[in-house]
Amino acid sequence: MTATVSASPSPSTRGTRPRDTVYVLVRAAEDEAGLAAAPDAIAAELRKTGTGVLVLESRRDRDPALPAAVNHVIADAGGRVVVLVATPLTMPACLEVAAGLPRHVVGVVGLGTAPSAEAAGSARPLLLADLTADARPAGEIRAACETPGAKSVLWNGMRHGPDLTPRLLAAEIAAYAEEIAQPPGSWRRVVPEVPGTARTARLADGTTLAYTEYGAGDRVIITAQMGFPPEPNYPSLLASAPVNARVLAVTLRGFRPSDTVEHDLGLGWLSRWADDIAELATVLGIERFHYTGGSHGGGVGWYLAERHPHRLDGYIGVVSGPHDRENDTSSSVARRSINDAWPDEAAVRRHVEDLVFGPPTHPRRARRRALLIDGIVADYKEMTPQEARINQGKPWPQAATDAALAAVLRTVEVPTLLLSGVQDVIISADAAFRASSSVPLAKSVLWQDEGHMTWEEAPDRLVGEVALFLDELDATGGTR
């Protein structure tokens, strides 16, 4: 075993700051393909942040010298925490170390690999993979996304080049180190720097759209839903650090306080909503913007990417699928069941709990989840029949099979970030992975411990990923 040791800063108290973390990158002499070939370059980028970094070379899968080497690092770390970064060839040895030193090794990162559920133990691993370049089969990477507590960051092709790619990977690893230093499911309340201002705008057909504007600046993010939870919420956090955008949170046509619609548009809702957002931007003098939306709001983004790609700097889809086809593209099971349950309040609550939120993943969120469910049920109670009947269906209903849907996704040309939860009961993990591996050059983040309502239950978790994606676009001139 050989080692290269960087100069380490003075020991500090354990915490969540990057300087409190020591990174140990373990490579194998045979690592040559995909992200597995990048440990040295990643280490160089991590050192720029002032962290302790050690690069070890292991010459076999289970290297008996590795635990002693990592123990030496921990002894020199002054109580700081350790994150192991492994390649496919060195992951078994790293997992052995993590199992033996659970108080000190807080995270395991896989470059093109991730441990199985059985091998991971109590670790909450991070998988970083380029689906077009890493040697691991796509099916193996897909299965790794199911590892309990895992976070998977996937690129469907990378055009970053040898200089930029390590910097982006180092940023993902540093963000992961901060996240796992917190208890699973913790909710960090962040107060928006600028309160929202309620506004309206009138479209050419006379329809009035209501929206709340947060923040200021040249970077504009538009998001649209049938309604938004109380602040702090996803739109308000996007207006604060680290994104610091001007954010327009639009209530979709058909739902108050925007104008309601007397005649049901059937499967035409998503295209209508996408055209509304493009027109609203024009009315407000906004030429280009980023769009983000969750669930049905994410469906609007798919149609913006198809119908108005020249207006988008990027699309950020949150649990946006698109859905598995399941021999029916007219509606998801959840949307149809909730619409059918209205106006029975108890039935709506059951459907929201079981088919929208799904099983609880984090006890720490129990109170927030209960408040969110109460809010949604109250919103449905106040709906008019015109609002309650709206069912937008699944995006691209003409794609009747999963294979046909993948073919449509391969035509998307807008820079895309997809944020998904493996526990989602509406957008399956298979649907999320299909989009991740079909949209050209898409970047995707899949959390094993999140479900469909991530953007309401854990908006702060999403905002960090949005910031990294926007930095990535800035660094590549918007070419992903």
Q: What is the pLDDT of residue 10?
A: 26
The residue behind tokens 């109170």 is: 367
What is the reported pLDDT for 33? 66
Write a three-state SS string for 198-253: EEEEECCCCCEEEEEEECCCCCEEEEEECCCCCCCCHHHHHCCCCCCCEEEEEECC
pLDDT bin (cut points 50, 70, 90) of residue 14 is very low
**20: pLDDT strictly greater than 80:** no
What average pLDDT does range 146-166 have in this prediction? 83
pLDDT band per the 50, 70, 90 thresholds, residue 192: low
Provide the sign of the torsion angle of the four alpha carbons 212, 318, 444, 415, taken in this order. Answer: negative
- Which pLDDT belongs to residue 320? 96
Angle formed by the axes of helices 65-76 and 91-100, nearest 10°: 50
User: pLDDT digit string (tens) for 413-438?
Assistant: 999 999 999 999 999 999 999 999 99
Residue 12 confidence class, pLDDT cut points 50, 70, 90:
very low
| Whether the predicted pLDDT of 15 surpasses 60 | no
Q: Taking a C-beta distance cutoff of 8 angstroms, is the pair 267, 397 a contact?
A: yes
**pTM for the full model?**
0.92
Sequence-distant (≥ 6) Cβ neighbours of residue 266 within 8 angstroms: 393
* Angle of CA points 336, 308, 388, to nearest 5°: 20
CA 1: distance to chain centroid?
A: 37
Q: Is the pLDDT of residue 465 over 70?
A: yes
pLDDT of residue 190 exceeding 70, the answer is no
- If pLDDT is split at 50, 70 and 90, which confidence band does 136 have? low
Domains and CATH numbers, the chain: 2-180 (3.40.50.1820), 197-475 (3.40.50.1820)
Q: Which residues contact 103 (CB under 8 A, 6 or more apart)?
A: none
The tokens for 394 are 């699944």
Question: Lowest-confidence range among 45-54, 159-168, 223-232?
Answer: 159-168
* Helix, coil or strand: residue 13: coil
8 A C-beta contact, residue 253 and residue 273 = yes
- Has residue 249 got a pLDDT over 90? yes
Looking at per-residue pLDDT, the higher value among 159 and 380 belongs to: 380
Does the pLDDT at position 251 exceed 80?
A: yes
Residues 297 and 313: their CA atoms lie apart, in Å, by: 17
Instruction: Tell me how crowded residue 191 is: count the other CB atoms within 10 A of its CB.
Output: 10
d(CA 142, CA 425): 17
Contact 181, 114 (CB under 8 A): no
Helix (H, G, I), strand (E, B) or coil at 117: helix
Residue 93: pLDDT band (50, 70, 90) is confident
pLDDT at 326 over 70: yes
12-26, 70-84, 265-279: which is most confident: 265-279
pLDDT at 236: 94
Cis geometry, peptide bond prior to residue 230 (ω within 30 degrees of 0): no
Residue 391 pLDDT > 60:
yes
Q: Which tokens sit at 382? A: 């106040």
CA distance 32 to 195: 50
Summary mean pLDDT of the chain: 86
Tokens, residue 328: 């029916």
Looking at the predicted structure, is the pLDDT value of residue 4 above 60? Answer: no
Q: Which of 387, 386, 381, 385 is nearest to 344 (CA)?
A: 381
- Give me 290's structure tokens: 């980023």
Question: How does DSSP classify residue 310?
Answer: G
Q: How far is CA 372 from CA 227, 233, 234, 369, 377, in A?
A: 12, 11, 13, 5, 9
What is the predicted pLDDT for the residue at 212? Answer: 98
Average the pLDDT over each of 363-367, 419-423, 457-461 and give the range with the smallest value.
363-367
Residue 140 has pLDDT above 90, yes or no: no
For residue 1, is pLDDT > 60? no
More confidently predicted of 465 and 80: 465
Judged by average pLDDT, the poorest of 51-55, 246-250, 301-305, 384-388 is 51-55
